[in-house]
Chain A
Amino acid sequence: MSAPATVSPTAARLAELRSAGRAALVGYLPVGFPDVARSTEAALAMVDAGVDVVEVGVPYTDPVMDGPVIQRAAEAALAAGTRVRDVLGLVEAVAEHSGGRVPALVMSYWNPVLRYGVDALARDLAAAGGAGLITPDLIPDEAREWIAASDAHGLDRVFLVAPSSTTERLRLTARASRGFVYAASTMGVTGARATVGDRAEQLVADTRAAGAENVCVGLGVSTGAQAAEVGRYADGVIVGSALVRTLLDDAPWTARLDALARLTGELADGVRGARTTTTRTTTRSTTMEAAS
């Protein structure tokens, strides 16, 4: 990996927030749910309500890392005719709307990327102003082509680590990643949980010790209190299912957008309060509906 000294837009944003004394809020939404236009509207609403990084999901027929909420949204997005290329428009909209201040990462299972063409997608994503890719079912061991393409087009590549990862694999993943390393807080799929895994804090520490500059935590975060808890020790807090759930409602679209903005605001307050107040004691007693 003779990477040119690529400046990672995501890493730059995380560094900026670090010096401001807080973690980033990373908000996930799938493109195409409930349709492409409204998913773009929702992503921009999330930006206005305070997310620092946008993660745009590519809906896929076989999302093995996703729980029921994101599965449902992905299924609906595909049924509505969403194409992989639609993600590019959404990424471009986020870049324009935020004046390049909010990095947009694309989260995609590997086969849609393979089919599009690894280099072609990297090229088109970079041209759209995207920051990079999060790859939930691609480990660095299989990523030779993507590592080359992301180097060539100056994109971030976010690989995942899990509580089961060995030290050796944490090192491998930290070395292969750019932007940040995505730490799965728990062994499981996406979805809101009553508590964020106890192993998350240790995993973040271990991943940093293995050489990662930035480590963001995902899986299970759904409330401001949980965001505050994770924001104490992680460089970023990734929220997916809880945000998607606000849009799965039967309520009128504007009401759903309001709910999305409200939750985003609560989460943004959470990461802002994380290192200034002692929120920890309240966090654990928060009752949340567990992932079904």
Chain B
Amino acid sequence: MPASEPVRDALTQTLAHQVLGRLADQPGPYFGEFGGRFVPEALVAALDELDTEYRKALGDPSFRDELARLNREYTGRPSPLTEVPRFAENVGGAPGAVRVLLKREDLNHTGSHKINNVLGQALLVKRMGKTRVIAETGAGQHGVATATAAALLGLECVVYMGEEDTRRQALNVARMRLLGAEVVPVTIGTRTLKDAINEALRDWVANVETTHYLLGTVTGPHPFPEMVREFHRIIGEEAREQVLERVGRLPDVVAACVGGGSNALGIFNAFLDDEGVRLYGFEAGGEGVETGRHAARFSGGAPGVLHGARSYLLQDADGQTLPSHSVSAGLDYPSVGPAHSWLHDLGRATYEPVTDQEAMEAFRLLCRTEGIIPAIESAHALAGALRVGRAAVAAGRTDQVILVNLSGRGDKDVATAARWFDLLDDVGGDEAVVETVTSEEGNL
């Protein structure tokens, strides 16, 4: 079968890498037994074109220079590293026994790590001569970043967003519209991120000749999982240097939240081949894994295929996708990037659920101890860091350094937090929040 040789070559490379190579450079399409390309044939030509263009671009100094310039001058990279001692006191133990350092992706332009990938892909779109980008979004962060890059580079932009999420994140709907993007609320299925991806895929199949699907995380068919990791690896590379400079050694633990898993893979990647560094991914435990209302793919799912890749997946006995639940729209997804499934099965990274309750407590704690309002997604990583720190103290360890990827800022979550903590009871309560948010959307 000569036509399948590219796939076999890639597989051979993959196997060679597992024996000889660095985990950080693992190429697609397969991450162990995960990944691949489970897509309609209609998309294969576009995926091949994307793969070719992406590989050419990586080897092209002018592409790399342009991306580096945008990262510096537009995004504001490198993002700072902030130590948060008042937050860290809450793990207990002797003062300074556990140090917590935040990688401040929340300070990027558009407010999260998402811009790193979006700028890389948007430059590829220009190289491919396409004029239209489509994207899915859950919390709205990726949609905002995509709308931003589309405005910057003069591309038409359509963002698919589950109707449930447009309500939870109405301010981001307004942001995207301000930036000139069309936002399409998706009203079928569970009306969340998964269904937004379905709609984006349907649009892509029909318009693939002019349109690039600017996928926002390390999931999807090859080359997305590898390519999106490449555009986010800068997070870990900067953080590794910054921690070495600040602390004089590598961290003991790196923690990140995992929805699709792009911010986690971005920060993990630089440490994958540092054996002494423990990597923790925190999934949305929702109302608790035992309630069935969660997005904990590793503790509550099993390998399966969704949206083009084989990975851990929330599914029933018939392989039907189960709805996920989380207070944070960005983690509310039933599958996870295939590289995470690979790292999970290799035992290189540990994945644990964090409940809504734990995440919101950590959210408030960071606000009050450090004056930083995190995204609720990132608050899952903060809660996980507290858990790991407390375990270290309980085990009598001292001099622990925990690096947390603060993947996004919480401006978009203020309405959710106000409801969660009853912050506006005296000024009209829940309705005040809902009205502020929806009336703004309605006026646009």
Q: When the two chains form their complex, are residues B37 and A62 in contact, meaning their CB atoms are under 8 A apart?
A: no
The 5 A-B pairs at the shortest CB distance, nearest first, are namely A115-B319, A172-B3, A162-B42, A112-B319, A188-B206
Tell me, in angstroms, the Cα distance from A173 to B46 when the chains sit together. Answer: 17
Interface 1/0 per residue, B354-365 and A, CB below 8 Å: 000000000000
Tell me, in angstroms, the Cα distance from A141 to B269 when the chains sit together. Answer: 28
**A-B contact list, 7 entries, CB within 8 Å:** A61-B321, A112-B318, A137-B308, A142-B38, A164-B44, A165-B41, A187-B208
A residues in contact (CB < 8 Å) with B:
60-65, 67-68, 71, 75, 78, 83-84, 110-116, 136-142, 159-166, 168-169, 171-173, 175, 184, 187-189
Residue of B nearest to A183 (CB): B41
Interface 1/0 per residue, B272-312 and A, CB below 8 Å: 00000000000000000000000000000000111110000
Q: When the two chains form their complex, are residues B305 and A60 in contact, meaning their CB atoms are under 8 A apart?
A: no
Find chain B residues with CB under 8 A from A163 CB: 42
Number of residues of chain B lying within 8 A (CB) of chain A: 40
Find chain B residues with CB under 8 A from A140 CB: 4
Residue of A nearest to B318 (CB): A84
Q: When the two chains form their complex, are residues B189 and A139 in contact, meaning their CB atoms are under 8 A apart?
A: no
Max chain B C-beta neighbours (<10 A), residue from A60, A160, A162, A175:
A162
Q: When the two chains form their complex, are residues A164 and B7 in contact, meaning their CB atoms are under 8 A apart?
A: no
Residue of A nearest to B4 (CB): A141
Q: When the two chains form their complex, are residues B37 and A165 in contact, meaning their CB atoms are under 8 A apart?
A: no
Q: When the two chains form their complex, are residues A187 and B304 in contact, meaning their CB atoms are under 8 A apart?
A: no
Number of cross-chain contacts by CB at 8 Å:
122
Q: When the two chains form their complex, are residues A137 and B304 in contact, meaning their CB atoms are under 8 A apart?
A: no
A164-B46, A169-B3, A187-B209 known; A115+B37 contact, CB < 8 A = no
Given A62-B195, A168-B3, A172-B3, list of 13 further CB < 8 A pairs? A62-B194, A62-B321, A64-B198, A64-B205, A112-B319, A114-B305, A115-B317, A139-B44, A141-B37, A160-B41, A163-B42, A164-B41, A172-B4
Contact of A115 among B42, B208, B304 (CB under 8 A): B304
Contact of B320 among A60, A161, A173 (CB under 8 A): A60
Contact of A189 among B189, B202, B321 (CB under 8 A): B202
Q: How far in angstroms is the closest Cβ of chain B from A257?
A: 27
Residue of A nearest to B322 (CB): A61
Q: When the two chains form their complex, are residues A78 and B320 in contact, meaning their CB atoms are under 8 A apart?
A: yes
Tell whether B1 is near chain A: CB-to-CB under 8 Å: yes
Tell whether B188 is near chain A: CB-to-CB under 8 Å: yes
Chain B 409-440 residues near chain A, CB threshold 8 A: none
A62-B189, A160-B40, A188-B205 known; A113+B3 contact, CB < 8 A = no
Q: When the two chains form their complex, are residues B45 and A165 in contact, meaning their CB atoms are under 8 A apart?
A: yes
Tell me, in angstroms, the Cα distance from A114 to B319 when the chains sit together. Answer: 7
Tell me, in angstroms, the Cα distance from A175 to B209 when the chains sit together. Answer: 26
Tell me, in angstroms, the Cα distance from A166 to B317 when the chains sit together. Answer: 37
